[in-house]
Chain A
Amino acid sequence: MFLKFSITKTIHDWLFELMPAGVAGVVEMILIAVVYLLIFAVAGLYLVLLERRVAAWFQLRLGPNRVGYQGLLQTMADALKLVSKELTGTEKADKFLYNLAPYFVIVTSLMALSVFPFSEEFQAFDINIGIFFLTAISSIGVIGILLGGWSSNNKFALIGAMRSGVQTISYELSVGLSLLTMVLLTESLQLSEIVAVQKNGWLIVQGHIPAVIAFVIFMIAGTAETNRAPFDLVEAESELGAGFHTEYSGMKFAYFFLAEFINMFIIAAIGTTVFFGAWLSPFGITDSIPWLGVFWFLGKTLLLVFLMMWFRWTFPRLRVDQLLRLEWKYLLPINLFNLVFMAGLIWLGLTIKF
């Protein structure tokens, strides 16, 4: 196995100096796992806060601003409250699957998080099928939702889970095809190489018209894949209670909730990596300071996250038939045409490179 761990070489070298190679490898793996779990928890909690503040801003309210400076500790307090709550369940639920479902959702999003190049060195797992791995992992996440809906023995939860399955399977296709359009430009699936290609201009500039079309489709399909409004039929409050997680309480509910926000972060991060040059600074203004890459990556990702929140608070929810028509009758043909268009552009050498 060639796992390429490259989180700051200094720590790596220091660990291997300090102890024998076998022990150092294990210690390094544990360290990386802890770091990513921390990122996961902190990002999840603060994205929830961000969502609430953005929602308040859109509705001309203030939002949470009492706990800590500007409400910075609000979601921490919420998480503590959720930990202390009782875990309830339905009488005839399939207990094993019911308890397993949240972990499916959490583990898949955690695995997806590990491949992103946060900066040149800060990338845990630079696998040579990067993007393909991401789509593969995200197709497993839906199993957690399906299981949670079925095993909680509740009709609303079951309907919510079914809707989620239909939606995710359909929109996965659009996410995959729009990313494939960009892969034509990069000629590689490895995320570090995709970033390296963008040193001659970000891909959205290199591929101009088809790249912009692909980006729009990617953002629509990505929003749908994370089950967020306007595509949140899965948990349509007016029809289904809370949808697939109606029967979940306390920390198990929080797992679903956190995973939803991390999935949004993941979609935004894929968008940043593939379209906006990941950790590369605009016009290379901070190329001499490599660690600033994290700042640029997070900045671009948070901009895309803000875009997705903007969608949520401005568009009304779609009906199921509208949702499926949008995917199969509009996005998919446009996507296929766009793929051919992009191939033609590359064949004729019409891409823009600095």
Chain B
Amino acid sequence: MERILFYLLSIIILIFAISAVSSRKMLRSVIYLLFVLCAIAGLYFMADYNFLAAVQLTVYAGGIVVLMIFSVMLVHHIDMEMEVAGKTKQALTAALCLSGVVVFLIAIYQHPFAIVPTQNTITVAEVGTLLLGYQAGGFILPFEVISVLLLAVMIGGIVIAKAGKKPQEKTPKS
């Protein structure tokens, strides 16, 4: 049962990942990407990383994909299709992708995978205490650094949004 599910999810990920980059309609490729992200969340669910799976669904599927759909809706009309890249570009991309696949395959086949006999679900409480723990193995410093970064990004966003408005207010007066 688990094996069937794993292969099913992997096939979904592969098919939709390829169609996401090869589709010529922009919104369709965004939706294919959404399917890929959901299938990855399914893999996390299979591995019992429930929290990570839900984060995947909220942040990637619910946040980033919605943002992408928004930007596509704002700039893109339904009739438009993306142009096809030239032959040299196609060949170059294919070569790069193949080399990536080769590196991954070598890495996977050389890694000694150990079978873990017991599975234990990681609870949210454990994630929380580790995330805010300051003893060895805690992640308080990266957590705080990331929150400062997010604050800076938010302030930057507000500054950019406000900066665009000022000249508009002045023009009607002059």
In the complex, per-residue mask of A138-162: 1 if CB is within 8 Å of any chain B CB, else 0: 0110110011011101000010011
A151 to B31, CA, bound (A): 12
Main secondary structure of the interface of A (DSSP, over half): helix
Whether A92 lies near B70 (C-beta < 8 A) is no
The residues of B that contact A149 with a CB separation of less than 8 Å are: 73
A161 to B25, CA, bound (A): 19
The residues of B that contact A22 with a CB separation of less than 8 Å are: 1
CB distance from B19 to the nearest CB of A (A): 11
In the complex, per-residue mask of A85-120: 1 if CB is within 8 Å of any chain B CB, else 0: 000000011101100100000000000000000000
- Given contacts A1-B46, A140-B62, A129 and B57 within 8 Å (CB-CB): no
CB distance from A177 to the nearest CB of B (A): 14
CB distance from A27 to the nearest CB of B (A): 13
- Given contacts A127-B50, A135-B58, A150 and B66 within 8 Å (CB-CB): no
Whether A128 lies near B34 (C-beta < 8 A) is no
A96 to B34, CA, bound (A): 15
CB distance from B131 to the nearest CB of A (A): 14
Interface size class of chain A, counting residues whose CB lies under 8 Å from the partner chain: 35 or more
- Chain B residues 51 to 87 lying within 8 A of chain A, measured CB to CB, are 51, 54-55, 57-58, 61-63, 65-66, 69-70, 72-73, 78-79
The answer to whether the Cβ of B97 comes within 8 Å of any Cβ in the partner chain is no
The residues of B that contact A188 with a CB separation of less than 8 Å are: 124-125
Whether A143 lies near B65 (C-beta < 8 A) is yes
- Given contacts A139-B61, A147-B69, A133 and B54 within 8 Å (CB-CB): yes
- Given contacts A93-B78, A129-B124, A139 and B63 within 8 Å (CB-CB): yes
Whether A158 lies near B73 (C-beta < 8 A) is yes
Identity of the chain B residue whose Cβ is nearest the Cβ of A141 in the assembled complex: B62
Identity of the chain B residue whose Cβ is nearest the Cβ of A168 in the assembled complex: B66
Whether B48 lies near A132 (C-beta < 8 A) is no
A229 to B50, CA, bound (A): 35
The residues of B that contact A100 with a CB separation of less than 8 Å are: 31
A146 to B70, CA, bound (A): 8
The answer to whether the Cβ of B123 comes within 8 Å of any Cβ in the partner chain is yes
Whether B66 lies near A142 (C-beta < 8 A) is yes
A129 contact from B50, B72, B78, Cβ within 8 A: B50
- Given contacts A1-B46, A150-B78, A151-B78, A140 and B54 within 8 Å (CB-CB): no
Whether A150 lies near B124 (C-beta < 8 A) is no
The residues of A that contact B34 with a CB separation of less than 8 Å are: 143
CB distance from A77 to the nearest CB of B (A): 35
The answer to whether the Cβ of A25 comes within 8 Å of any Cβ in the partner chain is yes
Whether A162 lies near B73 (C-beta < 8 A) is yes
A25 to B121, CA, bound (A): 21
The answer to whether the Cβ of A136 comes within 8 Å of any Cβ in the partner chain is yes
B27 contact from A25, A97, A132, A169, Cβ within 8 A: A97
CB distance from B90 to the nearest CB of A (A): 25
Whether B54 lies near A128 (C-beta < 8 A) is no
The residues of B that contact A96 with a CB separation of less than 8 Å are: 28
The residues of A that contact B58 with a CB separation of less than 8 Å are: 132, 135-136, 139
Interface centre among A25, A139, A169 (most CB of B within 10 A): A139
Identity of the chain A residue whose Cβ is nearest the Cβ of B25 in the assembled complex: A94
Whether A139 lies near B124 (C-beta < 8 A) is no
Identity of the chain A residue whose Cβ is nearest the Cβ of B72 in the assembled complex: A150
A153 to B121, CA, bound (A): 46
- Chain A residues 49 to 90 lying within 8 A of chain B, measured CB to CB, are none
Whether A2 lies near B121 (C-beta < 8 A) is yes
The answer to whether the Cβ of A274 comes within 8 Å of any Cβ in the partner chain is no
B57 contact from A1, A92, A136, Cβ within 8 A: A136
B28 contact from A97, A132, A165, Cβ within 8 A: A97
The answer to whether the Cβ of B104 comes within 8 Å of any Cβ in the partner chain is no
Can you offer 24 A-B residue contacts whose CB atoms are under 8 A? A1-B48, A2-B121, A94-B27, A97-B27, A97-B28, A97-B31, A133-B50, A133-B54, A136-B54, A137-B57, A139-B63, A140-B38, A140-B57, A140-B62, A142-B66, A143-B69, A146-B66, A150-B73, A151-B27, A153-B78, A162-B73, A165-B66, A172-B62, A188-B124
Q: Which 10 A-B pairs have the closest CB atoms?
A: A139-B62, A136-B57, A136-B58, A136-B54, A132-B54, A129-B50, A153-B78, A146-B69, A129-B54, A150-B73
Other A-B pairs, 5, CB within 8 Å; known A139-B58, A151-B27:
A136-B57, A136-B62, A150-B72, A165-B69, A169-B66
